[in-house]
Structure 1
Amino acid sequence: MTVLEEYERTTNGKPTVEGALHAFLDTDLDLYIEGGDAWKNYAALGAQVANTPEWGAELMDKHFDPVVRRLIDLLKKALPDRAEEDIFWGYHFVTGALLLTLARTGRMDKLSGGLCKSDDFAAVKARMAAGFKEVCKVRT
């Protein structure tokens, strides 16, 4: 939350999609990149918990929704002409990609023949905004 608030202050209330998503994602992804296997394992466990409807959803609602709502507010400011539903769907797809990444299933490694690595958090960071922006494109 602190990083999101600081980001908005530095942009004078004019955030970008890239900046908002990096403020949201980078603190955690950097920790998982630099923190070693213990943090990567913690992230994988968190990804599994987040995808458990019974008790995982309740934990996510309680502990993460305020931060997500703050991100959504920034994204609405960054894309004032986009439909609100597209911003929520964009967040949904970003979060899905994030959780799949954190789970480190090895699927990307296998599908890509080793070209992409499931734990390449830097590659994910570099691509998240592009995926979000595609979902929020103006439709004709």
Structure 2
Amino acid sequence: MNLKSFLIFGTILATPVSCLAEEFSISFEWGDIKKCNTGNPNRVSNPIFTLNNVPEGTKFLKFKMKDKNVPGFNHGGGKIEYFGENVIEPGAFIYKSPCPPGGTHTYEWTVTAQSKKSGGKLAVAKAKKKYP
């Protein structure tokens, strides 16, 4: 083995496995939710979520939305059974829609991959977006 091969091979061996695997991530689109800017949210179906690199062993996904401008307001979320899909369509759960009073707020969804319904946290992914 020459020096260049040794350095490349040594670098691969020294790289932690966690760096080689892609991290759990999400993205979302608001979809066709009823427009709201009164500060009184509607109860609506979940946004369209796209999931990437869901951890092996995931049996449930827990969703939670936070208004970054008013973090104390509970918009809720939901928990669903996970069967390996990469897209979660509207209708999986109901939550309180974004509804900033007279302006734009930033909302963040947190999704926790769980190995069992009551916990067993495997990974957490977050995504945020402005509304409207």
| TM-score, normalization by structure 2 | 0.29
Question: Is the radius of gyration larger for structure 1 or structure 2?
Answer: 2
| TM-score, normalization by structure 1 | 0.28
